[in-house]
């Protein structure tokens, strides 16, 4: 069950496809060329081969080093794009790096965003982030909203930047509109197009950096500066909302895959919860409270350290998926109590509904948190007892 993670919400990424293949796993490596669209889900996802279609993927760390003929849409904690992309790129992540080539447009939302020196982007670029570093070549326009921006690369189209801290060290060939509380021009900065700017500091001498163009301090841009702090705040809010939505889809996708592929496990767990609720609760309590203590003790021994690391990862997965697991078991319990035999879609709907209810309960301070904790003890305890029983039968 711990191998089931996330399906990225395709409704938010309207790419067309004639055929598609879903692959999921904790460590997922695409090493052979693919002829269809790919939907990839995993803790670590590596694409090292060519794909004649779209890729939609999500995970903890995602790396794309292959040749993607169409669109690339990724969401993850750390996202690296080192290969080629034949169409658009859309990325949401904590850390985003692009070092390959993209034929068309790029849209990125993230915390730290780097377009490295080896990167080549043929279309427009739209970025909302915390820290943004542009070292590569961009043929189209670029629009950046961030707290800090450093531009060392080359931009062929127009440039629009709103930032708290802006440093320009590269070549900007189109017209530029720059708004920043603090602005610095390096010796290597070059502007081939006209510049309008506003900065909180004194007027800046653009003359050494101008190449047949002019620069004007435009006081009318000052109100736009008030938006810089808001934009940085918006970037933070977007990152938080993105994280919440990603977490939500992690959980719902987990529910879909778990209900679809686990044939009897949750039914057995619901029966165990119904027949032995307090024993289940005790098992859950011991697991959630004692496991960290055991892992801590293992870390003080050289032999036990690898086990502690592995156990910590698995324990983290169990904490993350405790709520969706509980939702599935509660839905199964209702099915048993009603003496029904639901179809798959009914089980899915009931499980997702239970999960939404649990999420709403969890929003209530203290009482909601305690309720969720108790529910997790009961449900996950019953699941652990069932798994333990099956392990003993295998022996």
pLDDT in tens, 49-99: 999 999 988 777 899 999 999 999 988 788 999 999 999 999 988 899 999
Q: Report whether pLDDT(114) > 80.
A: yes
Segment 257-278 mean pLDDT:
86
Q: What is the dihedral of CA 364, 369, 374, 376, to 10 degrees?
A: 100
Cβ-based neighbours of 16, under 8 Å, separated by 6 or more: none
Please give the residue that has the higher pLDDT: either 251 or 383: 383
How many other C-beta atoms lie within 10 A of the C-beta of residue 217?
A: 15
Q: Is the pLDDT of residue 392 over 90?
A: no
> Does residue 41 register a pLDDT over 90?
no
The pLDDT value given to residue 3: 32
Q: What is the pLDDT of residue 295?
A: 78
Return the pLDDT at 236: 59
What is the pLDDT at residue 230? 57
For the cut 60, the answer to whether the pLDDT of residue 17 exceeds it is no
Q: Give the C-alpha separation, 125 to 129, whole Å.
A: 13
Q: At what angle do helices 322-337 and 265-275 cross, to 10 degrees?
A: 70
Q: Which two tokens stand for residue 202?
A: 């004194």
User: Which of 138-152, 168-182, 189-203 bottoms out in mean pLDDT, i.e. has the lowest?
Assistant: 189-203
The pLDDT > 90 percentage for the chain reads: 38
Mean pLDDT of 164-170: 93
Most confident of 40-49, 162-171, 297-306: 162-171
Phi-psi region of 212 (alpha: psi -120 to 50; beta: other; left: phi over 0): left
390 Cβ partners below 8 Å, 6+ apart? Answer: none
């Amino acid at each position: 069950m711990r191998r089931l993670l996330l399906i990225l919400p395709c409704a938010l990424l309207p790419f067309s496809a004639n055929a598609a293949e879903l692959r999921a796993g904790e460590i997922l490596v695409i090493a052979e060329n693919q002829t269809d669209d790919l939907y990839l889900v995993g803790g670590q996802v590596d694409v090292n081969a060519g794909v004649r279609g779209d890729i939609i993927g999500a995970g903890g760390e995602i790396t794309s080093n292959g040749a993607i003929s169409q669109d690339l849409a990724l969401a993850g904690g750390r996202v690296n794009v080192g290969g080629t992309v034949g169409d658009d790129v859309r990325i949401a992540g904590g850390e985003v790096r692009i070092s390959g080539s993209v034929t068309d447009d790029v849209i990125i939302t993230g915390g730290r965003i780097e377009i490295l020196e080896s990167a080549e982007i043929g279309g427009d670029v739209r970025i909302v982030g915390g820290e943004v570093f542009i070292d590569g070549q961009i043929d189209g326009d670029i629009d950046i909203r961030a707290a800090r921006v450093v531009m060392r690369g080359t931009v062929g189209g127009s440039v629009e930047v709103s930032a708290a801290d802006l440093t320009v060290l590269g070549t900007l060939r189109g017209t530029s509109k720059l708004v920043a509380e603090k602005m610095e021009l390096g010796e290597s900065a070059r502007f081939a197009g006209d510049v309008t700017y506003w900065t909180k500091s004194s007027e800046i001498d653009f003359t050494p950096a101008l190449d047949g163009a002019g620069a004007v301090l435009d006081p009318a841009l000052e109100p736009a500066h008030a938006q810089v702090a808001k934009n940085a705040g918006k970037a933070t809010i977007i990152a938080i909302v993105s994280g919440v939505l990603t977490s939500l889809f992690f959980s719902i996708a987990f529910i879909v895959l778990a209900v679809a592929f686990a044939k009897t496990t949750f039914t057995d767990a619901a029966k165990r919860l119904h027949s032995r609720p307090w024993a289940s609760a005790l098992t859950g309590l011991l697991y959630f409270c004692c496991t960290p203590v055991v892992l801590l003790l293992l870390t003080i021994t050289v032999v036990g350290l690898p086990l502690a690391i592995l156990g910590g990862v698995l324990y983290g997965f169990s904490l993350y998926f405790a709520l969706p697991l509980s939702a599935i078991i509660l839905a199964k319990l209702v099915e048993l109590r009603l003496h029904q035999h639901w179809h798959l879609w009914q089980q899915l709907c009931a499980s997702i509904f239970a999960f939404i209810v649990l999420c709403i309960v969890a929003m209530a301070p203290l009482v909601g948190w305690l309720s969720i904790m108790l529910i997790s003890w009961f449900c996950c305890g019953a699941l652990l007892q069932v798994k333990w029983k099956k392990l003993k039968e295998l022996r």
